[in-house]
């Protein structure tokens, strides 16, 4: 059973598996970092979200259209976004016709990872175990285990 401080908004048409001891902080009194929104989870039809044990979320938005796997003891700073989809096609003609051609790709985040506040993790990214993503980063490509990355787009800062 997750620990929920404040409200957790969930829209689920797929599968959600949440491990033990997972914490969702959605109120100003549960995390003083300056949360700008509550935690939200949206899993589309055929989407699969798996959150490992003892992970923590503060004002995090998860949008899973395909697959997002989060390991054990992963911590997310305030106001992080994790999206495994582009939401809309890149081609303007396809956008005019509707939303066919939307690209999605799985996200995998290893054990003991820390994602800094106000970061965004985009589709297709794998973040290796024990890595750190600096605050305000835009992660567009894989991060190997035991590395610190930061920036927009995120780049290697140092090996841990």
Task: Tell how far CA 91 is from the center of its chain.
Answer: 25
Catalytic residue among 88, 95, 103, 130: 88
Q: Note whether 21 and 3 are within 8 A (CB).
A: yes
Say if strands 154-159 and 3-5 run parallel, antiparallel, or are unpaired: unpaired
22-44 pLDDT per residue, tens: 999 998 777 778 788 899 999 99
* Tokens matching residue 25: 């902080």
**Nearest Cα to 78, choosing from 40, 116, 122, 22?**
116
Q: Is the pLDDT reported for residue 75 higher than 70?
A: yes
Tell me the CA distances in angstroms from 79 to 82, 101, 123, 135, one per residue in order. 10, 28, 18, 10
CB-CB contact of 128 with 147 (8 Å): yes
The whole model's pTM is what? 0.92
Between 98 and 36, the more confident residue is 36
d(CA 126, CA 135): 18
Least reliable range by pLDDT among 20-29, 38-47, 93-102 = 93-102
Report d(CA 17, CA 121) in Å as an integer: 20
CA 103 to chain centre: 17
88 is catalytic: yes
**Predicted pLDDT at 96:** 78
> Residue 100 has what pLDDT?
66
Q: Look at residue 99 and tell me whether its pLDDT is greater than 80.
A: no
CA–CA distances in Å: residue 7 to residues 46, 97, 105: 25, 36, 28
Nearest 5°: phi and psi at 28? -60, -30
pLDDT of residue 107: 98
Domain residue ranges in the chain: 3-91+102-159
Q: In 3D, which of 57, 73, 72 has the Cα closest to residue 121?
A: 57
Report percent pLDDT > 90 for the chain.
Answer: 80
CATH superfamily assigned to domain 3-91+102-159: Hexapeptide repeat proteins (2.160.10.10)
């Amino acid at each position: 059973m997750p620990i929920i401080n404040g409200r957790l908004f969930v829209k689920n048409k797929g599968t959600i598996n949440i491990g033990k001891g997972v914490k969702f902080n959605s109120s100003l009194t549960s995390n003083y970092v300056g949360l700008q929104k509550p935690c939200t989870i949206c899993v589309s039809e055929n989407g699969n979200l798996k959150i490992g044990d003892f992970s923590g979320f503060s004002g995090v938005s998860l949008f899973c259209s395909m697959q997002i796997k989060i390991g054990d003891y992963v911590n997310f700073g305030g106001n992080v976004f994790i999206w495994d989809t582009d939401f809309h096609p890149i081609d303007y003609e396809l956008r005019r016709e509707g939303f066919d051609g939307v690209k999605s790709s799985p996200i995998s985040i290893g054990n003991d990872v820390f994602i800094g506040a106000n970061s965004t993790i985009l589709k297709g990214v794998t973040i290796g175990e024990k890595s750190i993503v600096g605050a305000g980063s835009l992660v567009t490509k894989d991060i190997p285990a035991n590395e610190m990355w930061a920036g927009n787009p995120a780049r290697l800062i140092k090996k841990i």
